[in-house]
Amino acid sequence: MSTRLYIGTQGFSYPDWIGVFFPPGSKQEHYLPFYVNVFDSVELDTTFYHPPKASVVRSWARHTPETFRFAAKVPQRITHDARLSQMGEHLGDFFKALEPLGPRLGPLLVQMPAEFTRDEDTAGLLDRFLSVKPAQARLAIEFRHASWQQPATVDLLRKHGVALAWTEWRTLPRYAQVTTDFLYLRWLGDRREIAKYDRVQIDRGDSFDSWVGELNCVMAEVREVYGYFNNHWAGHSPASANEMKRRLGLAPVEPRDWWPQRELF
């Protein structure tokens, strides 16, 4: 099986990237058109706060090639406010709002809060939620509590064809299990450690080695891998994403190679 790798960043609208990733003088409307020159996928963070307007989704599609992939965080109304309870219809509406992306739409990320612990009730709630997901939607779920790290969770996700997100977040152990035909990886870090996102500030060499080793062991089991870096992981997510691409044998694209010869923005 040939595995397709999509490595990118969590979000792309960061003014701190101007003059480091984006060319000097870039404006917000330049961000996505430039980003697609360097990476072929992004995880949308803005969708966590509210479903996108149709005009915004059409704009995302217009500024990206069909080979580009958007992963989108499911709105917090579903994951944090309602904790999945009776949210099947809202998940369907969210998926429908993203349909203008066409083939560009990748997985939807169901990011659960750390307070969402596993017990008989929450496991049943998750089972019911996944049972009514749109048939065409591919889901990945991120648990931030170690109580979910058990075989029963793996069995439940495999039953529904949902990916268990492999996550590096604070002191949470990484639970690397393959539960469907794609992997979803997230490198988060700690928001308390980094305030400015213009350069790498933490050496993550050992972590890179660990991740690459685990990925190489399971790569042949999946068709696609989606991986996204947060700025808080090392300080500057584009640099982290390019480093991971190098280590996985992909050709990184240096952003400065796409800067104009003189300032055009």
pLDDT digits (tens, 9 = 90+) for 22-63: 999 999 999 999 999 999 999 999 999 999 999 999 999 999
| In the chain, domain spans | 4-258
Q: What is the pLDDT of residue 262?
A: 60
3-state secondary structure of 15: helix
4-258: CATH topology: TIM Barrel (3.20.20)
Q: What is the pLDDT of residue 264?
A: 47
3-state secondary structure of 105: strand
Number of other CB atoms surrounding residue 167 within 10 Å: 20
* Low-confidence residues in the chain, pLDDT < 50: 264-265
Q: What is the pLDDT of residue 222?
A: 98
Q: What is the pLDDT of residue 126?
A: 98
Burial of 111 (0-12, 13-18, 19+ CB in 10 A): buried
Q: What is the pLDDT of residue 33?
A: 97
Q: What is the pLDDT of residue 1?
A: 55
Burial of 20 (0-12, 13-18, 19+ CB in 10 A): middle
How far is CA 265 from each of CA 22, 26, 225, rounded to the nearest angstrom? Answer: 10, 6, 34
Amino acid symbol at 132: V
How far is CA 89 from each of CA 86, 128, 161, rounded to the nearest angstrom? Answer: 8, 12, 19
At a CB cut-off of 8 Å and minimum separation 6, what does 119 contact?
147
Q: What is the pLDDT of residues 221-245, one digit of tens each?
A: 999 999 999 999 999 999 999 999 9
Q: Record the tokens describing residue 31, joined without a space.
A: 């961000």
CA neighbor of 175 nearest in space, from 162, 164, 190: 164
